[in-house]
Structure 1
């Protein structure tokens, strides 16, 4: 059985660059969720209290699925499109899921 992976954390961008990056991430997320079978969820959201921060949440079926994501053509295109934006901080962690249960 493969273990699911959750990527969570944040990325900070110069205030003038955050919304541009966020818009690019929204499109990337839509494409990733629709076309990568190993992606269970992919959400990037603006932090309502910090004009620089983007919150990151990704859920993958396996480490292999996440690794394959980084080698896709749409990731390469995305990286080229946002290359000029200034990231000023980052804290991202990949977590291996040991167990899950529904919350009510």
Structure 2
């Protein structure tokens, strides 16, 4: 890992929470758009011919938001795995340092 980068597991978990919230917002936007923005119930006359277009755009928008939500959830999962890996490495290093310290304490000078 480059010197200018550092991983703080607590912060990584915090970013994961932020990604979860954002993923939830994508779902809320998708539901709101499906319920209100693409309502064609008031279309009359010639505008009725636009219903298939509006339905197509609604489907495309909904699918795009679903994919975006899935991707955010996937990033959050990978971030959680990374944080867990770092925590485990830190635990192992701490254990190793304690063993070395115990061995050094047991040496006679």
Instruction: Calculate the TM-score normalised by the size of structure 2.
Output: 0.30
Query: By percentage of residues, which structure has more helix?
Result: 2
Larger radius of gyration: 2
